[in-house]
């Protein structure tokens, strides 16, 4: 499971949610570096959120279309409703009551026009359970979003939904989960070695 490449709104720290923002030049380079990182994986299927930032990243990973990219709306980021397109500070100023509710991390608080953390969590974890159920064996790739990956991390490690995140979530980081005998296992989290290599090339 990988997060999409850097977008313009990522650099501006805006809530993207179900809206979209194009990949930056850095985001495109991250996708190309990720393609090299994943070249040794024998993939049986590629799934992607249907949002353009994820699909564009998936296309960079598999530029020759060796596998069809299967888009899935369930792999979208959380719907942030009235917060979408705004920075956290803009949300605080425009919607102070909703900001406080959101910051409380109440998993059942529904952002106006959006979805609650619990609704989002159920959508994505159920989607992954269904996707692995399609495969008897092998490796599949899912290109998705930071919030989706956080959901899966909490699900597999049995972390309370309302717990604050205390780990980084880099664009195009590689996160490997295994599923066997009805049980998930986290194998690798936040692998960004391909980004280190990319930064080294930039310095030459």
Beta pairing class for 174-180 and 183-191: antiparallel
Our CA angle for 163, 5, 204, nearest 5°, is 120
Q: What is the CB neighbour count within 10 angstroms for residue 182?
A: 7
Going by the DSSP 8-state scheme, the letter that residue 83 receives in this structure is G
109 φ/ψ angles, rounded to the nearest 5 degrees:
-75, 120
- Asked if residues 61 and 174 have their Cβ atoms less than 8 Å apart, the reply is no
Query: Catalytic: 194?
Result: no
β-pair type (43-49, 174-180): unpaired
Question: Is 4 labeled as catalytic in the residue annotation?
Answer: yes
Catalytic site residue from 6, 15, 36, 77: 77
Backbone CA torsion sign across 182, 189, 49, 18: positive
**Selected catalytic residue, list 4, 79, 102, 194:** 4
Kindly give, in sequence order, each residue whose CB lies less than 8 Å from that of residue 202, ignoring residues fewer than 6 positions away.
none
CA distances to 18, 118, 153, 187 from 184, in Å: 27, 20, 10, 10
φ/ψ region of 172 (left if φ > 0, alpha if ψ in -120 to 50, else beta) reads: left
Q: Which phi and psi (to 5°) does residue 65 adopt?
A: 55, 40
For the annotated catalytic residues, the residue numbers are 4, 77
């Amino acid at each position: 499971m990988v997060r999409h490449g850097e977008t313009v709104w990522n650099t501006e720290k805006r809530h993207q949610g179900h809206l979209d923002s194009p990949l930056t030049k850095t985001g495109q380079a991250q996708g190309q570096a990720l393609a090299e990182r994943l070249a040794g994986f024998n993939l049986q299927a590629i799934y992607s959120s249907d949002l353009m930032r994820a699909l564009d990243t998936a296309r960079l990973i598999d530029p020759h279309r060796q596998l069809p990219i299967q888009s899935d709306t369930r792999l979208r980021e959380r719907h942030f409703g009235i917060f979408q397109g705004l920075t956290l500070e803009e949300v605080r100023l425009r919607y102070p009551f909703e900001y406080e509710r959101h910051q409380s991390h109440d998993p059942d608080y529904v952002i106006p026009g959006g979805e609650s953390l619990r609704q989002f969590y159920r959508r994505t974890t159920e989607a992954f359970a269904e996707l692995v159920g399609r495969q008897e064996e092998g490796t599949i790739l899912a290109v998705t979003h930071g919030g989706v990956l956080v959901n899966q991390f909490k699900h597999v490690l049995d972390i309370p939904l309302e717990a604050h995140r205390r780990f980084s979530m880099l664009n195009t980081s590689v996160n490997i989960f295994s599923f066997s005998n009805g049980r998930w296992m986290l194998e690798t989290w936040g692998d960004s070695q391909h980004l280190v290599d990319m930064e080294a090339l930039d310095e030459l």
